[in-house]
Amino acid sequence: MSYLEYTVKYVPTGPRKILYLNWPIALLLLSVGCVGFLMLYSVAGGSLQPWAEPQMKRFAAGFALMLIIAMVPIWFWRNVAALAYAVSVALLFAVELFGEVGMGAQRWIDLGFMRLQPSELAKITLVMLLAAYYDWLPIKKVSHPLWVALPVFFILLPTALVVIQPDLGTSLLLVFAGAAVMFVAGVHWAYFAAVIAAGIGVVVAVFKSRGTSWQLLKDYQYRRIDTFLDPSQDPLNAGYHITQSKIALGSGGWGGKGFMQGTQSRLNFLPEKHTDFIFTTLAEEFGFIGAASLLTLYALIIIFCINTAITNKDRFSALLTIGIAVTFFLFFAVNMLMVMGLAPVVGVPLPLVSYGGSAMLVLLAAFGMMQSAHVHKPR
Amino acid sequence: MRRTAKDSQTSSRSLTRRALMLGGAQAAVVAVLGMRMRYLQVEQADQFKLLAEENRINIRLIPPARGQIYDRNGVVIAKNVPSYRINMVREDAGGDVDLVLRRLSALVPIPPDQLERASADLKRLRGDTPVTVADRVSWDDISKVAVNAPALPGVSPEVGLSRHYPRGADFAHVVGRVGPVSDYDLERIEDPDPLLRIPRFQIGKVGVEAEVEEMLRGKAGTKRVEVNASGRVMRELDRREGKAGANVQLTVDHRLQDYVQARLGEQSAAAIVLDCDSGDVLAIASSPSYDPNLFVNGISVADYRALTDNPYRPLVPKSVQGLYPPGSTFKMVTALAALEAGIITPEDTVYCPGHLELSGRKFHCWKRAGHGSVDLMNSLAESCDVYYYDLALKIGIDAISAMAQRLGLGIRHNIPMSSVKAGVTPTRDYKRARFAQDWVVGDTVNASIGQGFVLASPLQLAVMTARLATGRSVSPRLVKSIDGVEQPTGRGEPLGLDPSNLAKLRRAMFAVTNNRNGTAYGSRIIEDTFRMAGKTGTSQVRNITEAERRRGVTRNEDLPWERRDHALFVNFAPADAPRIAVSVVIEHGGGGSAAAAPVARDITLQALYGDTPPLAAYPEKDRSRIKAQQERLQRERQAREDTRDRGRA
């Protein structure tokens, strides 16, 4: 397939492309990034080290990467989608074989200059592949069982590799993002109904299997579920995170305790306050107003993404944009649900705010592709 | 393959529809997030704010200073002295813990094993835990550490309060001692003061320290501190000072106590001096004693073993806990019971042939040949047993026991010392309950001379003597005042005894020590204003069998120590206007007249003169011996005083 498929009247070229970027989204991403710097500065006790400054550098690099990727025509990314997917699956295999073990799970490969988490990569490449797939697939065949089975396989392959790491959070993200792309691509709703029904069945099976010889999850995962369902059961160990996180959030109140005045985070009652639980610090120091503002920023990003997706006549671009938006949405939604005690602690960072390299770089790269789709959309 | 325009259009419309549906679902989730935020941060905010404060703020106790204990003249018996120790915190030591420890040990002498333990603890425990490197360090060493602080990162001198007993062994049995709270203590106390949970907090273990604990302890102060998640104190928010413990003043006179303790020496004995008028305990000694300071600093196993293995039981306050058959000192009870019952008059006589035969069993008098015809005066002076056997058969055990209780025997006197015993004034019920046997008349005969089931503590004997001397129900008082508030005296109400009977009895007791035929004539006081009235007692701790009697009773001195008779003596003085009542019990000391009476006389004179008595108060032939004894005791007391001063320096 080629460029000629578009009924293109005008495509910007050269540096003029910059003008055609989706600037609202870029600025929203930058604002979210700044919220991250602020919070990392705060949790370090008012210091750029050890988190805020590296985060700024990485964000700058990621933002530059986003712009570079945005300059590359979208059809290039469509053409490399299958390859990117294949590479990330291969890396997932590699991490299974040679990966470093961190937090009880094999998650990254040390590349020397950075630690690569193939599971982060897989979230985007899966979305790319599915978008390319449904762009290629004739519309009439979309709901044909055979042509449904194939993308399901594409989803389940990396998911399975992530589950055995084991990383429950990322595997759920993969399934939901993949399913979202399939849904938007027009797969018949009956499939989703069937999967939801089956999902309920699995949940029941998971609970029933506990303590039997065919136990489906690891003990620590069951404990996380227990803790989630009743944090007070184990207030000093597994439930500690959720309990302290809720205390931090709630004690923030309407207007918060003030910048760098969060007692829960400053006195180390919050676990992993610079990564997964950074939202609690924000909510503690800036209160409901601060927390709701961040939520609004995130929601605006999603709204702008959906807007650009539905106005883009190119099917790959639209599906890719939706896929990226859903992945981004799942990140912050799961993280917030988790710290607010509505979901089990599954280890999903708050996108662009939590300290961490690969997740942020991969997300900004993905937004680069989304921008590319926007820049190169048929006009 | 090229897609048709129509195809594209339908697909685009479907995509838009689906994308909007998905967007709707996302909006729903965002709405849930927003509502949850509102719920936690707006509706539940107050509750979570409280929880966050609870997390952050820790209330720490400030231990109050323990109340001091004084004697009746205001001399300190138990006080708090600063105790210095050197603590070290690894986090602040700047990396090389061993280097700092080496520098420290160059400045201050620290035993190698203690240094090793501290080093191991510093490496093992959490970085912010203070580890005590040296305990009970001198002020000089502390100053050295303070001066060299820059070279000793992480090292901090600390001042605490520790109990010290400047009078040492003299008051060990009265005041007792403190020690760190044990798990056993905590279990025993209902709803314990949170202070007791402070590690190594000291509470009274025995004696006044334990019995008046609540008063002495005071009230804890509190400080609110901000702590982090690992419990480390970040800063102090505010503090409220506590209330120091109440000072307790005892009725004991430290000089008299010192003398009595020295006079008893290393014998296994107890002696008490009561103020007849107020019941004040002027001296309450039990020997041998021990140094309570050993316990405060943590007694060594060897020292403790030595105390527990000693057959003279130095840890036991025999003055209140030791129970002895009162022997002949009980005869006043029997006599008074009979006089009050109106069965005899003091002039009635009984013939003593040396024994009393009762249903085939012979009850002997201590004098095999018998006393012949004796009245009250002579029977008491010569301590004739048969006279009292006869009285007992006439009045019965119930009257004797009732009189004993009126005189303060068989009841627990409420003074704040540990294990104050009630003793036994036997009754029919007592024997049935205790031994499941019926009372026989022989038991009454035995009880009449303070043998058999009768048991009394030296304190009770002193109380009995005070009551006989005053006719009032004098009760002992050990605590004179608490925080300056005078405590009620033990003066007591009149016992309602016939004054003429009491007067006769006192005259008989006077005869014991002042008549030529009195058993304690050898221990008389010749200073007329201070003459004493008393009674000897020699109580058997074994039964003398008929066979043994036929062979001739073994002489007491030939028996092993623990089977010898107890020597007792009670007295009051001056005889005509009693000021003090004294009781002395010398365990297995032999005869009351030989072993106990001289001790009681020396104590009495010391108490009445308030100092070393003049030799003129003693009978002429004793003076040289007494002089030597006084000089010896002076030297001993001076020597002890000197070691005390050294210990304080």
- The predicted pLDDT at position A336 comes to 94
Span B168-181, mean pLDDT? 89
DSSP per-residue string spanning B27-72: HHHHHHHHHHHHIIIIISHHHHHHHHHHHHEEEEEEPPPPPPEE-T
The answer to whether A184 contacts B19, with C-beta atoms less than 8 Å apart, is yes
pLDDT at B284 exceeding the cut of 80:
yes
Q: Which amino acid is at B346?
A: P
pLDDT at B404 exceeding the cut of 80:
yes
Helices (H) and strands (E) in chain B, counts: 23, 21
Could you tell me the residue ranges of all domains in chain A?
17-375
| Residues of chain B contacting A250 with CB distance shorter than 8 Å | 40-41, 44-45, 47-49, 51-52
- The predicted pLDDT at position A23 comes to 93
List the structure tokens of B75: 């001399």
Closest CA to B260 of B247, B249, B251, B269: B269
Q: Are A274 and A42 in contact (CB under 8 A)?
A: no
The mean pLDDT value of chain B amounts to 88
Contacts of B308-311 with C-beta under 8 Å, sequence gap 24+, read B311/B268, B311/B561, B311/B562
- The predicted pLDDT at position B86 comes to 84
Q: Which of A267, A303, A307, A317 to mutate to test the interface with B (most CBs of B within 10 A)?
A: A267
Instruction: Label residues A86-111 b or e (16+ Cβ within 10 Å = b).
Output: eebbebbeebeeebeeeeebbbbbee
Q: Which amino acid is at B383?
A: S
The percent of residues in chain B predicted with pLDDT above 70, rounded, is 95
- The predicted pLDDT at position A100 comes to 63
Q: Is B4 on the interface with A (CB under 8 A)?
A: no
| Residues of chain A contacting B37 with CB distance shorter than 8 Å | 249, 283, 288, 291-292, 295, 340
pLDDT at B165 exceeding the cut of 70:
yes
Tokens 């074994």 sit on residue: B542
Mapped onto helix, strand or coil, the DSSP state of residue B137 is: strand
B385 burial via Cβ count (<10 Å: 0-12, 13-18, 19+): buried
Nearest by CB: A322 against B19, B41, B47 = B19
Q: Are B526 and B559 in contact (CB under 8 A)?
A: no
Chain A residue with minimal CA distance to B26? A329
pLDDT at B421 exceeding the cut of 90:
yes
Q: Which residues contact B486 (CB under 8 A, 6 or more apart)?
A: B480
Q: Which amino acid is at B629?
A: Q
List the structure tokens of A293: 């503002």
| Residues of chain A contacting B42 with CB distance shorter than 8 Å | 253-254, 288
Distance CA B637, CA B257 (A): 11
| Residues of chain A contacting B49 with CB distance shorter than 8 Å | 250-251, 253
List the structure tokens of B424: 């036994």
Distance CA A249, CA A258 (A): 13
List the structure tokens of A152: 């399901």
pLDDT at B269 exceeding the cut of 90:
yes
The answer to whether A267 contacts B228, with C-beta atoms less than 8 Å apart, is yes
State how far the alpha carbon of B154 is from the alpha carbons of A88, B121, B135, B137, B159, in Å.
Answer: 52, 14, 16, 18, 16
pLDDT at B322 exceeding the cut of 80:
yes
- The predicted pLDDT at position A4 comes to 44
Q: Are B284 and B510 in contact (CB under 8 A)?
A: no
- The predicted pLDDT at position A8 comes to 56
Q: What is the tens place of the pLDDT at every residue in B432-460? A: 999 899 999 989 999 999 999 999 999 99
Through-space distance between the first and last CA atoms of chain A, rounded to whole angstroms: 18
| Residues of chain B contacting A298 with CB distance shorter than 8 Å | 30
Span B282-290, mean pLDDT? 94
Q: Outline where B361-457 has alpha helix (H).
A: 376-382, 385-406, 428-435, 441-448
pLDDT, greater one: A228 or B44 = B44
Q: Which of A196, A237, A310, A348 to mutate to test the interface with B (most CBs of B within 10 A)?
A: A310
Q: Which residues contact B354 (CB under 8 A, 6 or more apart)?
A: B364, B365, B367, B368, B369, B370, B386
Longest Cα–Cα distance in chain A: 64
Q: Which of B14, B36, B41, B51 to mutate to test the interface with A (most CBs of A within 10 A)?
A: B41
Span B195-211, mean pLDDT? 84
Compute the count of residue pairs across chains A and B with CB atoms less than 8 Å apart. 144
State how far the alpha carbon of B184 is from the alpha carbons of A6, B85, B181, B205, B444, in Å.
Answer: 88, 27, 8, 11, 43
Nearest by CB: B22 against A183, A251, A283 = A183
Nearest by CB: A292 against B2, B10, B37 = B37
Tens of pLDDT along chain A (379 residues) come to 444 455 556 778 778 888 889 999 999 999 999 999 999 999 888 888 889 999 999 999 999 999 999 999 998 999 999 999 999 999 888 888 876 665 555 567 766 666 778 888 899 999 999 999 999 998 888 889 999 999 999 999 999 998 887 777 888 899 999 999 999 998 999 999 998 999 899 888 888 888 777 777 777 778 777 766 666 665 555 567 788 888 888 998 998 888 888 888 888 787 778 888 899 999 999 999 999 999 999 999 999 999 999 998 889 999 999 999 999 999 999 999 988 888 877 778 899 999 987 889 899 999 999 999 999 888 7
- Identify any residues that bridge with B356 across adjacent strands, giving them in sequence order: B363
- The predicted pLDDT at position B92 comes to 74
How close, in Å, is residue A184 to chain B by CA atoms? 5
Phi, psi angles (nearest 5°) of residue B369? -75, -15
Closest CA to B617 of B504, B508, B532, B553: B532
Of B81-90, B497-506, B595-604, B610-619, the range with the lowest mean pLDDT is B81-90
Please count the CA atoms within 13 angstroms of the CA of B232 that sit on its side-chain side: 14
Q: Is B234 on the interface with A (CB under 8 A)?
A: yes
- Identify any residues that bridge with B351 across adjacent strands, giving them in sequence order: B373
How close, in Å, is residue A246 to chain B by CA atoms? 7
- Identify any residues that bridge with B485 across adjacent strands, giving them in sequence order: B482
Q: What is the tens place of the pLDDT at every residue in B216-253? A: 998 888 888 888 776 677 888 888 888 889 999 999 99
Helices (H) and strands (E) in chain A, counts: 14, 3
Q: What is the tens place of the pLDDT at every residue in B72-116? A: 999 999 999 888 888 887 877 777 788 888 888 888 888 887 788
pLDDT at B337 exceeding the cut of 80:
yes
- The predicted pLDDT at position B239 comes to 85
The answer to whether B22 contacts A248, with C-beta atoms less than 8 Å apart, is no
List the structure tokens of B392: 């007992």
pLDDT, greater one: B92 or B46 = B46
Distance CA B619, CA B601 (A): 12
pLDDT at B620 exceeding the cut of 50:
yes
* Interface predicted TM-score (ipTM): 0.91
List the structure tokens of B133: 């490197």
pLDDT, greater one: B1 or B221 = B221
Pick B83-159's CATH classification: 3.40.50.2300, 3.90.1310.10, 3.40.718.10, 3.40.50.1820: 3.90.1310.10
List the structure tokens of A235: 């207030």
Chain A residue with minimal CA distance to B23? A306
The answer to whether B15 contacts A263, with C-beta atoms less than 8 Å apart, is no
Closest CA to B7 of A75, A313, A56: A313
The answer to whether A268 contacts B44, with C-beta atoms less than 8 Å apart, is no
List the structure tokens of B599: 């001790």
Interface of B with A in 31-60 (CB under 8 A): 32-34, 36-38, 40-42, 44-45, 47-49, 51-53, 55-56
For residue B550, what is the enclosing H or E element? helix B546-551
Q: Outline where B192-253 has alpha helix (H).
A: 207-211, 213-217
Per-residue confidence at B618, pLDDT binned at 50, 70, 90?
A: very high
Chain B residue with minimal CA distance to A302? B23
| Residues of chain A contacting B224 with CB distance shorter than 8 Å | none
Cβ atoms within 10 Å of B431's Cβ, excluding its own: 18
Q: Sheet containing B281-287: which strands, arranged edge to edge?
A: B281-287, B269-275, B580-586, B566-573, B533-539
Q: Which residues contact A86 (CB under 8 A, 6 or more apart)?
A: none
| Residues of chain B contacting A333 with CB distance shorter than 8 Å | 26, 29-30, 33
Phi, psi angles (nearest 5°) of residue A356? 160, 140
The answer to whether A253 contacts B41, with C-beta atoms less than 8 Å apart, is yes
- The predicted pLDDT at position A3 comes to 46
Q: Is B616 on the interface with A (CB under 8 A)?
A: no
Q: Outline where B265-330 has alpha helix (H).
A: 293-296, 301-309, 318-321
- Identify any residues that bridge with B536 across adjacent strands, giving them in sequence order: B569
pLDDT at B647 exceeding the cut of 70:
no
Q: Are B131 and B164 in contact (CB under 8 A)?
A: no
Catalytic site positions of B: 328
pLDDT at B200 exceeding the cut of 80:
no
Q: Are A367 and A22 in contact (CB under 8 A)?
A: no
Closest CA to B341 of B386, B384, B397, B381: B397
Q: Which residues contact A133 (CB under 8 A, 6 or more apart)?
A: A150, A151, A154
Nearest by CB: A269 against B8, B55, B234 = B55
Distance CA B385, CA B382 (A): 9
